[in-house]
Each structure stands twice: as C-alpha cells, then as structure tokens.
Amino acid sequence: MSHFVLHPQLQQDSELVIELTLCEVRLINDAHYPWLILVPKVADIQDVIDLSEVQQQTLWQESALVSRALKHLFTADKLNIAALGNMVPQLHLHHIVRFKHDISWPKPIWGQVPAKAYIDADKITLINRIRTEIELRKNP
C-alpha cells in the first residue's frame, strides 16, 4: 500500500494551514488572491472519482467548511472552486477568493500575471487567521 506524499510542485507553491480529517488545507503563495487548496491525504489519486464514496462526501464537507471560512474572512465578489490537474496530476481542489478589483478579474487567474509571493509576516498572519476561522467552524 502506498503512502500519501504531497506532489513537489504543491509543496513548493504552498504552505500548510491546517490538516483536516481527509485533506491538507494549504495556502498558495500568491498574494494577488486569497487562495487555498485542499489536498486529500490519499496516495495515488488524480480525480475525485478515485476516492471512495465516503471520502468523496468528506471532501465536499471539508470544501464547504473551508468555503464558509473564506466567505466569513473576505468580502468576496465570487468564490471559485476548481479541480484542474493539468499541470499537477495529484488531486487538489482550489478555493480562490475573487474580487471585481483583483488583477485578473473577470478572467481566470491562470496565465494572467506572475504570482506575487507573500511577505513572510503577512503570510504567517493570514495562515493564522484562516486556521483560526476553520477551527472555529469545525468545532462550533
């Protein structure tokens, strides 16, 4: 049996926010957008249908939890959720907070502008805010 290993590109592009029952929640290092990914801690999966039915239900529950936390923290014009996998085959679910004034609006974020890395202090503050909000919503 294989063990879960985070894809090197996801490791390079993101920081761990919190571990949930099924997923790692990770902040993408792009200060243009509040952008999280959920990565199921299951080895060798590429698509949602590769998960068991129970795991699929857990993924959607955790996605809803993260979505509610993001909606509470940010006054978004839209919350985009996507599972693409064209560049990184390991299943990961993007949760991207979009604003009408963001640098890519209304276009998709991919390929519009180079990523802008967070200042370390800002990244730590944001990770802590998001983690706290998820924890509060996880244990009401």
pLDDT at 124: 97
pLDDT at 85: 85
Q: Which of 115, 133, 132, 136 lies closest to 35 in space, CA to CA?
A: 115
CB 93 within 8 A of CB 59: yes
Low-confidence ranges of the chain (pLDDT < 70): 1, 140
85-120 pLDDT, tens digit each: 888 999 999 999 999 999 999 999 988 999 999 999
Q: Which pTM was predicted? A: 0.95
For each of the domains in the chain, give its residue range(s) and CATH number, in order of start.
Answer: 8-138 (3.30.428.10)
Written in H, E and C, the secondary structure of 8-58 is: HHHHHHEEEEEECCCEEEEEECCCCCCEEEEEECCCCCCCHHHCCHHHHHH
